[in-house]
């Protein structure tokens, strides 16, 4: 039978220790909850909290506190645009939810914890409003808090990663921030030997691919390919190849040399050992090709211009800028030269006075990115010693 407890006594700390974070946070959020719930509902909440607290019924206390999620978000939304009010309410809200999550450690069964982690994620993501920037930012911080309170060794993190990815897909402006939180998922699975089936990995990595950008997307597509069902491998492998060809700053073509598509193999062979003119001819020949559907051919050509700088610089200490312009059929090759340097294909300096590029080192076109990274590291040390 539930024991009736005088709410005012409990919330003033006379019967509950002022050091108990659960009571402290309910007391500090009292004003915010009263405004959101109204006098009657607020009183009902306080009474129910007092009753459950007296029995130390932590699962019900968790559910009761989490039940105010939408009230808190709506209260924050009302103040959106008022910097000081948003900061104050956000701080109170974060403290409130921190305590909600801390209650997980007081529960006795794993089933109770798992169920409430899922409930927390769904409650945070699905609660309205969803179009207010300050509310969505708070939601992301709460999901991040949930992730960080779980040790990287704990497989429950997979559940949080699923939730973060869903939030990222529903809120594109937060994709980069979400990916930064989940980017080590494959590392966690391997390092801590989580029992995740290939089917589960495939689905999880697919969700991460949906929020990843740039070369990070390619890396997770490759991880997804490693655990893909046989029926999905061919299509996914082709998708990876298209993604690599379309990425303007991706110059590791090693995996593409194994493509089952002869046209992609031809394209790669030109990247590795051909010239810009050869690539221009090849691109003209595959325009409209079914296998090259989805390939951004102008990007393929621009990447070939960058790779051509690498080819022209091999074995040289100086390279004429006018010769580069002629080879690449451009009036101003300087942006392309800079891109080749930024990509790590060529290490050198532009001498505008003499109209040349001074070549310090060139990445061998046959070496992998990892091998070249080692070469670059050694070269950078030499250059650093030179300037000391």
Q: Taking residues 91-116, what's their average pLDDT? A: 91
DSSP lists the bridge partners of residue 357 as 319, 350
- What's residue 11's pLDDT? 41
**Banded pLDDT at 10 (limits 50, 70, 90):** very low
Q: DSSP string covering 13-42, please?
A: TSSS-TT-HHHHHHHHTHHHHHHHH-HHHH
**pTM assigned to the model:** 0.81
Model confidence at 341: pLDDT above 50: yes
Task: Tell which residue, 142, 200, 139, has the closest CA to residue 170.
Answer: 139
pLDDT band at 245; cut points 50, 70, 90:
very high
Instruction: Give 380's pLDDT tier (boundaries 50, 70, 90).
Output: low
pLDDT score recorded for residue 291 = 72
Residue 366's pLDDT is: 55
* pLDDT value at 312 more than 90: yes
pLDDT band at 375 (very low <50, low <70, confident <90, very high): very low
| The pLDDT value given to residue 388 | 56
Query: What CA–CA distance (Å, rounded) separates 71 from 77?
Result: 10
Mean pLDDT across the chain: 87
Would you say residue 1 has pLDDT above 90? no
Most confident of 44-58, 78-92, 342-356: 342-356
pLDDT digits (tens, 9 = 90+) for 143-159: 999 999 998 899 999 99
pLDDT interval class at 19 (50, 70, 90): low
Domains of the chain by residue range = 1-149, 151-228, 269-387
**Comparing C-alpha atoms, which of 353, 260, 339 is closest to residue 303?**
339
Alpha-helical (H) ranges within 150-286 are 157-170, 175-182, 185-191, 198-211, 214-226, 230-246, 262-273, 276-286
pLDDT at position 371: 43
Tell me if 211 sits within 8 A of 178, measured CB to CB: yes
172-210 pLDDT tens trace: 999 999 999 999 999 999 999 999 999 999 999 999 999
Q: What's the confidence (pLDDT) of residue 202? A: 97
What percentage of the chain exceeds 90 in pLDDT? 64
Question: Is there a contact between 304 and 279 (Cβ–Cβ < 8 Å)?
Answer: yes
- pLDDT bin (cut points 50, 70, 90) of residue 165 is very high
| Chain segment 208-239, per-residue pLDDT in tens | 999 998 889 999 999 999 999 999 999 999 99
Is the pLDDT score of 12 beyond 50?
Answer: no
How is residue 203 annotated by DSSP? Answer: H
Per the DSSP assignment, residues forming a β-bridge with 350 are: 357
Residue 305 pLDDT > 80, yes or no? Answer: yes
pLDDT for 178 equals 98
Residue 16 pLDDT exceeds 50: no
């Amino acid at each position: 039978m539930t024991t009736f407890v005088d709410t005012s006594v409990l919330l003033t700390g006379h019967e509950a220790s002022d050091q108990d974070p659960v009571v402290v946070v309910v007391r500090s959020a009292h004003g915010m909850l009263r405004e959101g719930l109204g006098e009657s509902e607020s009183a009902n909440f306080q009474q129910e909290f007092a009753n459950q607290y007296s029995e130390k019924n932590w699962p019900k206390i968790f559910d009761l506190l989490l039940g105010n999620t939408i009230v808190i978000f709506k209260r924050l939304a009302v103040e959106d645009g008022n910097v000081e009010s948003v900061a104050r309410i956000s701080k109170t809200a974060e403290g409130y939810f921190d305590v909600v999550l801390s209650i997980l450690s007081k529960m006795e069964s794993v089933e109770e914890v798992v169920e409430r982690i899922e409930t927390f994620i769904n409650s945070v993501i699905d609660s309205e409003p969803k179009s207010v920037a300050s509310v969505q930012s708070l939601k992301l911080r709460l999901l991040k808090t949930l992730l960080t309170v779980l040790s990287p060794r704990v497989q429950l993190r997979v559940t949080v990663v699923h939730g973060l990815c869903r939030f990222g897909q529903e809120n594109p402006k937060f994709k980069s921030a979400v990916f930064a939180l989940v980017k080590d998922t494959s590392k966690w699975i391997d390092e801590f030997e989580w029992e995740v089936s290939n089917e589960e990995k495939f689905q999880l990595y697919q969700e991460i691919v949906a929020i990843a950008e740039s070369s990070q997307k390619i890396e997770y597509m490759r991880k997804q390919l490693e655990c893909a069902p046989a029926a999905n491998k061919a299509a996914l492998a082709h998708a990876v190849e298209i993604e690599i060809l379309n990425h303007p700053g991706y110059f590791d073509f090693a995996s593409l040399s194994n493509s089952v598509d002869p046209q992609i193999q031809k394209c790669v062979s030109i990247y590795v050992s051909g010239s810009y003119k050869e690539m221009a001819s090849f691109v003209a020949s595959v325009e409209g090709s079914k296998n090259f559907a989805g390939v951004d051919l102008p990007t393929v050509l621009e990447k070939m211009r960058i790779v051509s700088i690498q080819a022209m610089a091999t074995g040289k200490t100086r390279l004429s800028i006018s010769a580069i312009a002629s080879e690449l059929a451009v009036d101003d090759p300087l942006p392309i030269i800079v891109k080749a340097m930024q990509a790590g294909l060529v290490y050198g300096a532009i001498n505008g006075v003499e109209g040349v590029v001074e070549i310090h080192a060139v990445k061998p076109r046959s070496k992998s990115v990892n091998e070249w990274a080692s070469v670059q590291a050694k070269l950078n040390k030499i250059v650093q010693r030179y300037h000391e």
